[in-house]
Chains A and B, each alone.
Chain A
């Protein structure tokens, strides 16, 4: 570049000097400077001085060579020079333009490269996003499938008519536990001393000797936000730590309130020993709410059923009681009339004997009537006994195990309400005996009812009734053992007496009737207190060998 400027300076100097030479010959040294400068010019500019001599002294050579030309074609040289200058200027301008466009071009190339890089970046990130998105969709798909199968399970469980209420709850909970993949799950009541309604765990020891919800502090929170599930992936971080179940400590937690009749009555919990990486998705939360709703409606349904059953049994009991009350009142009146008569006549006779002079005729009449009254009373009692005996139907072959199973089934609602465990130890070798099945059922029913009532004050986990049957030579025995208060020591001999009762609303007829029934079957009935707690009621009936084929 520098040469171009140099050249553009040199050319007018040469021109100027040539013109001067042409007029008044300049000293040589001055010219040589300009020539010297001209010699440094690039080869590309040889056009301007195309004719260069190879003589030993180029300066003087050039001068000698140029001088005649200038002198000869002075104006032409100038024209050529001017043209040369124009050309030079043109070349220079073009060159400048070229460099400028070259610069532009390189700039553009850089930009282009940058754009390409950005584009490549975009492409890469786009691919990544596509992959991510696909993964997301896959995950959503998976979770959808998971929830779909869980939902199907839930529907199957709730709509299954064969499953009992407890089974349904257990299965619902198990489905939930599988869905959330936790070690333990529970439904517990918020009342009744935090009674646990249902619990499932992959390790039983998680719940050993532990009552109530999995984490009481968390439950409070879950209830406070009862429309939203409480999801804590790491209990340690959030200071929710609470002595967990059994020997293990729970570290992750998920819970929601179960609404019954619009109010939180139970809490549904899932917990694990392992911490989770993060919270569950909102899908999972929705699923949990759904599950809680289903469990709530299931419990509500069951409560309605139990209420109905309770009402029915209560109604039956009341009508039985009132029928009995009526009968007793009627009987009292029936018996009282002749008895009053007999007593009146007897006491009147006594008075006459004491205070009046003895009138044989009158006394005889009085005493005769007294006897008449007493006989009438006796007749009424005999009629009553015959009436009771009328209920005695023919004996038929009966398996006592079947009787037990039937009654336990009949009382299942009552047993559940009393939160009592019934253990059956029925012997296989019990022969069929000749008996009145309905009457035996009544005896077993009385035994179990008494046991249930006797354990009213017993701690719930200790409430148990053990029903045993056994064959001893030719006798069939049945024991009903409970862990309640037992028979008061002072009244041990009176339990089978009529009108003996420890219940505020009892008639005291149950065991008395039971004794009558067993005695009618040639059997014996016994009531004992257990060595430790509770009582054991039993009867034995001779097995009629003729029936057993």
Chain B
């Protein structure tokens, strides 16, 4: 709260105000507002001027404001009310500013709105629901995902998404959430509007309300159908590939890109008489002496090669290629498919399929021999031949079938690798990337070439390295068949992303780890959504707890307030009241409080200080409900319990919402009986003391006069002494009379003996009498027509004499005093004008105050209690008139008073 003078200087402020401005109180007081607030003159002052012009308070919403010298605070927002403040005589003396720094609240609201819009627009399906599963909010992501619009879902049960075979699942999940346990990454199945099923990963978190109770839940669903399908497909493909490889009756060899043998299946080892794959590992394909040179050429060009050739184990021995248990020569049918053409160059090598066709060769040879040598025995051998033939056909068919199977599996694997939504990387035991697919490049931001020079450790976020390396080591050591984790990559360029990793081991024929197949999914968006969600929840919670704290503080303030406080809604129903309010109405319990504020006030029997009951429309409560601010209304109330009257000082103000509509009122009633009683005691004391002074004054004055009547015994100097005593007595008498008069006014004992009076004639008469004692001044009277009033002659004379005495007193050089009587619309106005010293501007506001002298300490200080103007104004106001003045220092003053005219004045 601060008080600002009409020239916009901070004149007073409380500590809260200074604290909120971050300026010490002593540095605030006395400073012009424009030195405190940015853009004061352009943007703030107009509101104040408006308040002064209209006389109505101005209430801002959250209003942006910069505080000078505090650029670090940025724009702050303030909720403030400016009210005009008037002196007792109705003159404007400044502004009351009640302000509150609402920046935090405003920012929190803005952040909330922004976050809410992010959530709303998110592609990730999100919803907010009650603990019974009734949907409160349904975002765009959810609309797209499930096919239900927000309108369709709001107010509906979330359980319509649950497929029949999982009925009851949401209820169970929400019960768990209701106990404060969030659900994260629960993989389940949901049904879309069109009936299709979808694999989802659910995250459900509890939301607390203002009281700290879990009242609702937020829900995020991530579509994992694709991931599931991919995983499934890959698994199938890989399994099939492996099955075919392991179980195939066809010998299969795998060579790396340099043509070194890395693996061979069981059939292959049998065929070549090798007990273990280790015996042949590293065997160079292109140096196989059994391979025709023509085939080698074709392989170098990257073409698929097929040839049939005899294979000599003796050659193997001769060249010491590898150890073999076999000897002699077999006939082999060999198909070599290079795997290193196209974009998969570094995947490694060649797929070699070998079949021993010696039997077939034998059969063919036998046939030939038979034809050549034993034509005659053809018939004989026909059956045998047919059988061989049959075998041959079967074998060929089988071989073709197996080959086809392998090709199909491989194609599928390749398709997944090339086009799948998953990033796939093949990582060797040194953690190097042997190969990656395009999606992996897209996820990491590195090209395949760049990745070829890197290990996965180099692109892993430092904090996640230890964990991943440990798991990878366990994988390669055969400890784990696969592992799954969520980790971060540092993309090329430094961006950090979250990924979900599924790494599995690929083994060789003997079960030795070869490399790891890593499947990677970018889950940054999901992570971000989770983080946003967490932050949103935290901010909502912070905001709620700040509100709760403020509410508690306010409650404490209200409870401990000595003054009675009443808060009502806009219909005038009591919303809250404090202990003091209960007590003053004689109530012991809140249950006894009437629901309507007006009934509560009826209990108090509210009256004006003069005893008249206050009509309902004039109650501060009613006025505040109509939007008026009422301050300092004095009333009398009765405590129904004790039956005793007490004085109340009532203030009431409307509570408005952001749009300025009245939503309720707050009324403060202060019991000022003690103050009133003190005031009365003081006045009574003055009356008694003044009366007691009169007796000694009478004695002094009496003897002085008695002595002065003895002319013979008197020297001139003794006469002067006695005259001085006489004058002194008169002065004491005047002071005593003023004091008595004032106390009578305060005690309400001033009685008027009113009679019909022509004010014009009466003024003339009084002035004539004053002229007799005026030595240096000329008093002129200007009057036009009769001015009939009802007034107490003696009292009006007292006022007039006081004004004329003042006029002469404060124009000590002598000169004119102009007195005029004017008849206006409904009142007669008397003016007394002098051309004297005038009243300094800064003292003008107080001259009607009791005992206030504008000239105290100046050469025009004539002593005395300076109560004349106060008494005069009281007398006039009790006649129903007004008193005012105009004055300019050095030029003189004009005092006016008005009295209401008797009806029909002027006609007579």
On whether the two chains bind one another, the answer is no
Interface residues of A (CB under 8 A from B): none
